A and B are shown apart, each in its own frame.
Chain A
């Protein structure tokens, strides 16, 4: 089993949509508006663009086109802005500074330090601007409160950084925001619940926020933005490093709906707990512990991209992904030493049927799955050299990934009798040789009897050579099995639909297909590429937490091998992973009142780890027995 993506636990099923947003967001939210039962606040485009632009500056080489686009447009929907510059312009009211011109000049000059300094001052002054406006409207509670909200939306750009580096300042500012919302006054309803504004306290709280911002974000901000983290620069801020962060619009949540995982051993009725190597590999596939920073702190795992062995269509990190579902794994952010300085985000491939899809990598650069896996761990995500056991386990687990059953395919890859007439006509086209393709057919490369693979890389013109005449745009032939569920398509995810793929081939190779033929060929792809029951179905009898719990319980079961073997290295990694995930997964419980039991189990695992680290294996064995007893006792309550 597999689906470990800590941030994503609540994204499937019918949980309220705004819950997904907060768990997606890496940032906390200081303040929003009046209460509703479950609702989260979206990012305002100005602080969002500001943070994204700082994040882009961290990446080498900096893509100034991306930076410019952030300020000239608006990424976040639903706001009354045509361009982020429009929102920033208002900050000039504070002291007359033309922040827009300064930001434009910095971008024009590709001056990262100037941009970070001037944009930071602008953000600070936007907070102050809205607080001043609130003060000006203090006799109109609703209007003043909205200005306070707007100020807090702007302050959100700094909030996590203040809390990370200046806890005392964060408390003072945090209480000042509470003062502001408390003393701004409320109109009540029909003269009930009325709270008149307290101008004096409100003004005082505005002063606290303004003084902090001026001292920390407007005076001499430049020296402190070396790493483009908007940390407070006042003397009280500590030198503590800010934990890795990802900018607004990042989406690390699982695909929704969640793909169904098909494991060969499970289909054969074998319990994963009886397969030590597979179970341990399953845990590693879900463990950020195998990676280095920043992936480790961000909770990046194999399954974060390859949800349930398949793909994650929503995975997106601004500056690292060019569209949802793709990622540049050899760029600057995750491992500067592995930075190839190419902007070459690739579409996340499905790992289903992995034992049949060698070679590995979009261009087939690795013949060995073991070599490919090591490259992901060590080079792409800066992890330590994995032990032989870890590589064996990861490979053993991934080799169990099966394709979804294909309801319209015979074993030899031909369509069966259930396929439609259109799909059959499309199958004939699929097998027809075309002059435009050098007298080859689609099936020449997508060999139906070989799971629609030929095990080779080809240059079909879908990529751009990196230099004139370079022969470096060859990509591995992808399977068509399950392809209905793996959009978008091509190595970079540049084509959204299978119909689009057909159109592309028709144009690229001048196949001369008419509309009907293109529709038939599309129907064939959609039929051959269909998978049965593609998504996990959650209901009262199969909750998300139960899915997670089942996995973690399986992972923990490997202690029954590791403890007798006195394998401290692998036991520690396992215990760190499972205890952390247990605590994070508690938020997926249907009944959060059960969370303390989950935390207790996690604490128990910590105790086992402490015993192992102390070399007390007898105590570890005893504690593990206790853990198993607790598991059995609590499991019925977990939903």
Chain B
């Protein structure tokens, strides 16, 4: 398939995802013959399309069924696609996952592994030469977070300030900081610090891997959260168990040396591990505290 044809397929898939409604909880009596993956763009939707074709081909081969993939506009569209049944599987962080779980009954299937762990932390980064040594020093200063729907790029760093007694959960962070930005991603947030555009950034502990070695000398972190479940692979709640099992088996096979190179086509983790919803209890609790969940 040429790129142009794939792009055409993308447009169609997005249209279907947004417009073709299927009842929530719908489960066809006929065996499912196609697995549909919804990817959230992170840097380059067009590049992601090429990645999708590689991983879809792999999954189709391993699962013995057709596998399609498309790129959604954002988290909201991916979750909506799971609700509508126009997507079976998606990939997202812990906070959007718990929202998807509560609102559309999405189920976590796997967690990404980085540096040998399926858990990671959030940190508050500052420039070494800023004179900022603690969270208190950031009163009235500027901070860049990654995204409002991000656990390590917003919720957990923000909660560090609440833990320090500097804010109350649910307060407008603007009440403490001088300026609050959402930079669009971990990398953009920490680059904003490294380049001196803001005083601090709240981002994943791994964000400093996205600095050049020279920038690494200039950036440090002053606070660190507890452990957060890694980004997740999630499925719609009524996806047939045999399909889930086959998908999970194929994805876990990516941990093997012979298949490891394919991980670069699914956001580039070091591997996957099985995980269940209980691992996200702390994220749920925090999401409730900050008003993301109200039940």
Contact = CB atoms under 8 A, between A and B. Distances in A.
Interface of A: 6-7, 9-10, 14-19, 22-23, 28-42, 44, 77-80, 140-143, 145-146, 148-149, 153, 163, 167, 170-171, 174-175, 177-179, 181-182, 186-190, 192-193, 195, 583-587, 590, 592, 595-596, 599
A181 B182 contact: yes
Nearest to A43: B44
A17 B3 contact: no
A187 B115 CA distance: 32
A78 B44 contact: yes
Give the most central of B51, B75, B182, B213: most A CB within 10 Å. Answer: B213
17 contacts: A23-B212, A30-B188, A30-B191, A33-B184, A35-B93, A37-B230, A38-B210, A39-B42, A42-B44, A78-B44, A142-B77, A149-B43, A178-B183, A178-B192, A182-B182, A188-B76, A585-B213
Given A14-B270, A178-B198, A193 B114 contact: no
B41 A34 contact: yes
Contact of A28 (B103, B144, B212): B212
B99 A192 contact: yes
Query: For this complex, into which size category does the number of interface residues on chain B fall?
Result: 35 or more
Interface of B: 3-4, 7, 40-51, 72-77, 79, 93, 96, 99-100, 102-104, 112, 114-115, 120, 144, 146-150, 152-153, 180-188, 191-192, 195-198, 203-206, 208-217, 220, 230-231, 260, 263-264, 267-270, 291-293
B74 A142 contact: yes
A605 to B, nearest CB: 14
A39 B292 contact: no
A188 B205 CA distance: 23
B92 to A, nearest CB: 9
Given A17-B263, A36-B267, A79-B46, 11 more contacts: A28-B195, A34-B74, A35-B204, A37-B120, A41-B187, A77-B50, A188-B148, A190-B100, A190-B104, A583-B217, A587-B209
The 10 closest A-B pairs by CB, nearest first: A142-B73, A78-B47, A174-B197, A187-B76, A32-B43, A190-B103, A584-B213, A178-B181, A41-B43, A142-B74
A214 to B, nearest CB: 21
A143 B217 CA distance: 36
B50 A78 contact: yes
B192 to A, nearest CB: 6
Give the most central of B79, B209, B260: most A CB within 10 Å. Answer: B209
Given A163-B195, A178-B197, A38 B114 contact: yes
Contacts, number: 236
Contacts of B213: 6-7, 9, 23, 583-587
B43 A186 contact: no
B103 A189 contact: yes
A17 to B, nearest CB: 4
A39 B51 CA distance: 14
B75 A16 contact: no
Contacts of A181: 181-184, 188
Contacts of B146: 34-35
A572 to B, nearest CB: 21
A174 B195 CA distance: 8
A80 B149 contact: no
Given A39-B43, A142-B74, A186-B149, A170 B230 contact: no
A40 B187 contact: yes
Given A17-B268, A40-B187, A584 B214 contact: yes
Given A36-B42, A171-B196, A190 B79 contact: yes
B231 A36 contact: yes
Nearest to A167: B196
B81 to A, nearest CB: 12
B268 A39 contact: yes
A590 B209 CA distance: 11
A153 B47 CA distance: 13
Contacts of A587: 208-209, 211, 213, 216
Contacts of B203: 35
Nearest to A186: B148
Contacts of A178: 144, 181, 183, 192, 197-198
A141 B147 CA distance: 13
Contacts of A41: 43-44, 187
A590 B115 contact: yes
Give the most central of A142, A190, A585: most B CB within 10 Å. Answer: A190
Contact of B47 (A42, A145, A171): A42
A79 B185 CA distance: 21
A622 B73 CA distance: 62
Given A37-B231, A189-B96, A22 B212 contact: yes
Contacts of A15: 270
Contacts of B191: 28-30
B209 A38 contact: yes
A10 to B, nearest CB: 8
A189 B155 CA distance: 14
B73 to A, nearest CB: 3
A37 B77 CA distance: 20
Given A30-B188, A182-B182, A190-B99, A40 B210 contact: yes
Contacts of A32: 42-44, 184-185, 187-188
Contact of B184 (A78, A145, A190): A145
Contact of B197 (A38, A175, A586): A175
Nearest to B48: A78
B66 to A, nearest CB: 23
A477 B229 CA distance: 57
Contacts of A6: 213
A80 B46 contact: yes
A38 B206 CA distance: 7
A604 B99 CA distance: 50
B47 A77 contact: yes
B36 to A, nearest CB: 19
